[in-house]
Amino acid sequence: MTKRYYDQFCAAACALDVIGERWALLIVRELLPGAKRFVDLEAGLPGIGTNTLATRLNELEAAGVIERRQLPAPAASAVYALTDWGRDLGPIVLAMARWGVRRLVTSIPRHPLRASWLATALQAFFRRDAVRDVTAVVELVLPTGTLNLRLRRGNLAVAEGPVEDADLRITTTEQAIFDLLRGRSRQSGRRRHNLRVEGNDSLVERLVEAFPLGSESVQ
């Protein structure tokens, strides 16, 4: 199928020429926390066909949004990563998440929450004023992946993968951490249902303050 272009002298139209095809921005979403293999992208994009994913990756690479890298031995596998220009789409993806959450709270998606999707939500609704005095590393060990959150005086960096220097490690499910941040799980410290907490318990409440995923966050 021949790719169609708007071919308009308009910057918004030019942007959509690059990332307006179905799945394109969701591929960017998947790559925001870090580089991924083809199979990892496929797992994070339920419903996409293998051929469609390959086509979108080729298009985004040709446009300069992503690049393909070869990992050194012993991994020796190819991964896809955002270029500097591609990473500029980060604030756009987060703004779209904030805009779209009103629909999310009234819909029943067929595919349950995944770690990479949670990473988007955490960045989109991060409240920096709540943790301006906090410097800590938090690791979330989830069934579909591990996220590490680096908080440094009101700044946040989210990446995928385990870390050795975590001040707080929470092992749980995606839904349980989402419910915690929505204020549905208010038991203290290590007694929280479905959460195994290791490290600095006091950071748990700071996370709730920093990531307000409750209904008030969409008002």
- For 134, phi then psi, to 5°, come to -110, 135
The mean pLDDT value for 57-64 works out to: 97
Instruction: Give the residue, 3 or 135, on which the prediction is more confident.
Output: 135
Question: Are 132 and 61 part of one and the same domain?
Answer: no
Pairing state between β 78-82 and 66-70: antiparallel
Per the domain annotation, does 5 fall within a domain? no
CATH number of the domain to which 28 belongs: 1.10.10.10
pLDDT of residue 166: 96
Please tell me whether residues 80 and 119 are part of one structural domain.
no
Question: pLDDT, tens digit, for every residue of 98-119?
Answer: 999 888 878 888 899 999 999 9
From CA 108, how far away is CA 112, in angstroms rounded?
Answer: 9
Asked whether residue 97 is assigned to any structural domain, the reply reads no
Assigned domain for 1 exists: no
Place of tokens 């966050």: 217
Over range 61-72, report the average pLDDT: 94
Domain range enclosing 27: 11-88
Q: What is the average per-residue pLDDT within 24-33?
A: 97
Q: Is the pTM of this model over 0.85?
A: yes
Reduced to 3 states (helix: H, G, I; strand: E, B; else coil), residue 191 is helix
Q: Say whether both 214 and 146 belong to one domain.
A: yes
Q: What is the pLDDT of residue 193?
A: 61
How high is the mean pLDDT of the chain?
91
46/132 same-domain check: no
Name the percent of the chain lying above pLDDT 70: 92
79 and 125, same domain (yes or no): no
In terms of domains, do 168 and 209 share one? yes
Strands, E assignment, 61-144: 66-70, 78-82, 135-142
143 with 205, same domain: the answer is: yes
Asked if the structure places residue 95 within a domain, the reply is no
103 assigned to some structural domain = no
Residue 191 forms part of a structural domain: yes
Same-domain check for residues 153 and 210: yes
Q: What CATH number does residue 211 fall under?
A: 3.30.1050.10
pLDDT, tens digit (0-9, with 9 covering 90-100), for 145-198: 999 999 999 999 999 999 999 999 999 999 999 999 987 655 544 455 689 999
CA separation for the pair 82, 34 (Å, rounded): 8
Higher per-residue pLDDT: 54 or 74: 54
What is the predicted pLDDT for the residue at 106? Answer: 83
The number of folded domains in the chain is 2
Q: Would 76 be classed as within a structural domain? A: yes
